[in-house]
Amino acid sequence: MKFELLPRIHSPAELRGLTDQQLVQLGDEIREALCNVVQERSAHFASNLGVVELCLALHLVYDFSKDRLIWDTGHQIYPHKLITGRFDRFSTIRTKGGLMGFPNPNESPFDLFMTGHAGASVSTVLGMKAGDDLLGQSGRKSVAVIGDGALPSGVVFEAMNNAAELKKDLLVILNDNEMGICPRVGGLAKYLDKARTAPFYNGLKRDVNWLLNKLPVVGKPSRDAIGQIKDALKGFLHGGMLFEEMGFRYIGPVDGHDLFALRSTLEMVKEVSGPVLLHVFTKKGHGFEPACEDPVMFHAPPPFVRNKNNEVVSVSKSTSRAYTNTMSDAIYDAMHRDSKVCVLTAAMCEGNKLGRVRQEFPDRFFDTGICEAHTVAFAGGMAKSGLRPIVNIYSTFLQRSFDHIFQEVALQNLPVTFCLDRGGLAGPDGPTHHGVFDNSYMRIFPNMTVMAPGDELDVAPMLDFALAHNGPTSIRYPKANVEHVERPEAPIELGKAEVWRWGEDGMFIAFGSMFTTCVAAAERLRVEEGLDVGVINARFAKPIDRATIFRAMEETAFQITVEENTVCGGFGSAVLEACNAAGVSTANLKVLGIPDRFIEHGERDELLADIGLDVDSLMATAVAMSDRGTLVE
């Protein structure tokens, strides 16, 4: 398809000069641009296809150069980017130095927050509305777009409760496509299923009065009786009673792919006072049939090839095995061996590759939806009852349950095993998804054991150790393909590191994913630089192997701790703390990890090189710390 309209749209204001026919054409061009990107690299796809008309309608009705718009779980931001002056850079999305795959205020004033986690949109847009009103800018409209997958997040209901109390003019658009990444789950999902089948509804007064006038009534009904009848009719007339009772005016459901009906509805909603919930139903993948047929696979598919009929003829398949798959297999095997082992995930069954577990152990698999805080507290209850729950979740998302890790797990010293996927840099997903803080926030809790496999060979034994340990444990692993280092088997023992090779000149002390990188650097240093640098696979960040690490401090000229976590409070900090407590000198110790800043998006290898955690950088650091490096200086 030739792009005729998109190159001309430099601002949403220019949409208002297009004819209806041109607006339809623009929607087609947006979908073509989405397809073009995903043919080149993995990107969020089906969710963006589903919001094209909604995005156009919003920008046609509102002026978001002054009004407020926040997209919840902002991976559906692509159409918005295309019509806010970023078409010429759209081909760079999710590449290093290119557009971010989520909203980014540094790219455009139309992006207000980086929204990569679900549920906060209602809170933040309500806060902006309150701020605007206090600053005398009450004419600004405020809109949050939230998906049905994010709606069950507890913070959403906290915000809606507050919004109803404040009675601020606020529009919450519920983009209901019956999906998160996977099909939605829970009681609220069933409630929305009923609401989707109800007729369009706009307020109660007209319909209730009409029906009351048609009802035969003997005698004069009391005010209480009329109220009871009205309440009953609310439930009969529409599925939005929950939102009405929470203090929101419910409108809908509306077809989210009928651009012109949607535009008219938004024009009407714009004039309504107080908090409003507009229920819009869409289809994930709309406009690209393969994505409609398999919205789970096409949520963020690998690159694919399509023909002129928009049929997918081939999909790129990786021949490598990822840490996620290796951990999933270990969980599967553990559940086969022990009927007390169960697994919980927060709407990430597909991301954590737990489909086989869900299928074979449906009674011991729990998808809680995007409710991480509940997931952890739920796991605490299961552990208290005698089970061995595994909380399988992304590192960045587990942050949302910090207080419950503290209160319901660590404080109770319960045997909950946390399997933290995406521990480290998450590549093109960028700063909202980099899991670079978990070593720090898990390590601070008493009773918590913090581990990370150095390579593929550590994964299953480490999980088995955790499931047998009488207390909470954390295991983090990267978004990367597995590697392994050939070496004799070394059993996992609490607080014991593994020495791959002892060095005469210096020592890399690696935690987790950096073990294989350190081994590669050590091998090249011996061959290319004549330096004998050893490698310790730390395995534990809490408790650390003090004896082995102190020996390295005493016997080698320099030591370098290496981790894919922020240096603030991470594994290197644990080593420094232990040395300080024992009076061991750290004069020749260097701590490497993620610097104290947010890391942008890009391929993981590119980002590691930028921050000095690739093989070449580790070699350069070792040479600089050696006698040779000191002499050169």
All structural domains of the chain: 6-199+251-293 (3.40.50.970), 323-476 (3.40.50.970), 498-632 (3.40.50.920)
pLDDT in tens, 523-556: 999 999 999 999 999 999 999 999 999 999 999 9
> What was the pLDDT predicted at 287?
82
Residue 467, burial from CB neighbour count under 10 angstroms (0-12, 13-18, 19+): buried
Mean pLDDT of 102-119: 93
Secondary structure tally for the chain: helices H, strands E: 25, 20
Pick the catalytic residue from 140, 284, 542, 604: 284
Contacts of 625 (CB under 8 A, 6+ apart): 506, 557, 558, 560, 588, 590
Q: CA 601 to CA 616: how far, in whole Å?
A: 21
Instruction: Reply yes or no on whether 400 is catalytic.
Output: yes
Pick the catalytic residue from 29, 53, 178, 372: 372
Tell me the residue ranges of DSSP E strands in 485-585: 498-501, 506-510, 533-537, 540-542, 558-566
- Give the pLDDT band (50/70/90) at residue 306: confident
Pick the catalytic residue from 388, 400, 443, 479: 400
| Contact of 110 with 77, CB cutoff 8 Å | no
**From the CB of residue 258, how many other CB atoms can be counted at a distance below 10 Å?**
14
Three-state DSSP at 474 gives strand
Better-predicted residue by pLDDT, 242 or 156: 156
Ranges 161-170, 446-455, 573-582: which has the least confidence: 161-170
> What was the pLDDT predicted at 105?
94
70: pLDDT strictly greater than 70 = yes
pLDDT in tens, 338-375: 999 999 999 889 899 999 999 999 999 999 989 999 99
The neighbouring-strand residues paired with 498 are 537
> What is the greatest pairwise CA distance in the chain?
105
Q: CA 469 to CA 487: how far, in whole Å?
A: 25
Phi and psi at residue 421, to the nearest 5°: -75, 160
pLDDT in tens, 174-233: 998 875 556 656 666 666 656 555 656 565 444 444 444 544 544 555 556 555 555 555
> What was the pLDDT predicted at 230?
55
| Contact of 395 with 421, CB cutoff 8 Å | yes
Closest-CA residue to 570 (of 549, 595, 547, 546): 595
Closest-CA residue to 573 (of 607, 530, 538): 538
Mean pLDDT of 509-520: 98
> What was the pLDDT predicted at 210?
45
- Give the pLDDT band (50/70/90) at residue 633: very low
Instruction: Reply yes or no on whether 372 is catalytic.
Output: yes
pTM summary value: 0.89
> What was the pLDDT predicted at 546?
98
| Contact of 408 with 435, CB cutoff 8 Å | no
Place of tokens 């077809």: 255
Q: CA 541 to CA 331: how far, in whole Å?
A: 22
Instruction: Reply yes or no on whether 364 is catalytic.
Output: no
Contacts of 441 (CB under 8 A, 6+ apart): 399, 402, 405, 569
Q: Residue 121: enclosing H or E segment and its boundaries?
A: helix 121-134
> What was the pLDDT predicted at 312?
79
| Contact of 591 with 558, CB cutoff 8 Å | no
> What was the pLDDT predicted at 302?
80
Ranges 119-133, 244-258, 519-533: which has the least confidence: 244-258
> What crossing angle do the helices spanning 52-61 and 20-40 adopt, rounded to 10°?
130
Tell me the residue ranges of DSSP E strands in 354-441: 365-367, 388-394, 417-421
> What was the pLDDT predicted at 301?
80
Ranges 23-32, 38-47, 487-496: which has the least confidence: 38-47
Q: CA 209 to CA 229: how far, in whole Å?
A: 11
